[in-house]
């Protein structure tokens, strides 16, 4: 087995598990942020209406699960880093008595709101300096039987690419000089 495969196996985790469900699991050394937001119905951009409200609900849900101290540590850990983001969306299947359209939520619309909330915008948490620091994304959606299991999990890991890092650093340093 080569080093890359060993690293993948070592860092593999079922993104449906929370830390409480997997107390013996060791996070990858590249993991900077791991936020399970369960139970919670993941919002989408949908038709484009009420996006600010949906972002606000997601932001509030994250802040209910992450202390200000943890948030500050996350911001510091992410500062200036390129990142890989892994997103798991756990959508309630519904019951035979209800019509449930959660399964038809588009993955790209689910991801867009998260990226906005992780960023610096009006409803943003300021964890990511810029969207361009996101270099790799993994996402999945799966159905869950119980509404209490519905939610999402956000894992942010360090991504290494020195050339990309330099290009972005140079770009944003020029941009800040122009706006100053």
* Residues 87-140: tens digit of each pLDDT: 999 999 987 777 678 888 999 999 999 999 999 988 999 999 899 999 999 999
* Residues 69-96: tens digit of each pLDDT: 999 999 999 999 999 999 999 999 987 7
pTM (predicted TM-score): 0.80
Task: Identify the sign of the CA torsion 110, 20, 81, 76.
Answer: positive
* DSSP per residue, the chain: --HHHHHHHHH---TT--TTT-TTPPPPTTEEEEEEE-S------TTSTTHHHHHHHHHHHHHHHS-HHHHHHHHHHHTT-EEEEEEEEEEE---TTS---GGG--HHHHHHHHHHHHSSSTT----SS-GGGEEEEEEEEEEESSGGG-EEEEEEEEE--HHHHHHHHHHHHHHHHHH-
């Amino acid at each position: 087995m080569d080093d890359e495969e060993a690293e993948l196996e070592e860092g593999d985790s079922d993104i449906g598990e929370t830390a409480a469900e997997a107390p013996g699991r060791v996070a990858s050394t590249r993991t900077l942020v791991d936020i399970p937001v369960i139970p919670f119905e993941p919002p989408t951009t949908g038709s484009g209406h009420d996006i600010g409200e949906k972002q606000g609900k997601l932001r509030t849900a994250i802040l209910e699960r992450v202390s200000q101290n943890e948030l500050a540590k996350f911001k510091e850990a992410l500062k200036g880093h390129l990142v890989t983001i892994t997103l798991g969306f756990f959508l309630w299947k519904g019951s035979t008595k209800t019509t449930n359209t959660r399964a038809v939520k588009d993955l790209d619309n689910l991801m867009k709101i998260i990226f906005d909330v992780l960023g610096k915008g009006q409803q943003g948490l300021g964890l990511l300096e810029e969207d361009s620091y996101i270099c790799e994304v993994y996402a999945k959606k799966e159905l869950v039987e119980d509404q209490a299991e519905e939610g999402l999990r956000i894992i942010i890991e360090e991504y290494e690419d020195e050339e990309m890092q330099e290009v972005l650093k140079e770009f944003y340093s020029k941009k800040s000089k122009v706006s100053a």
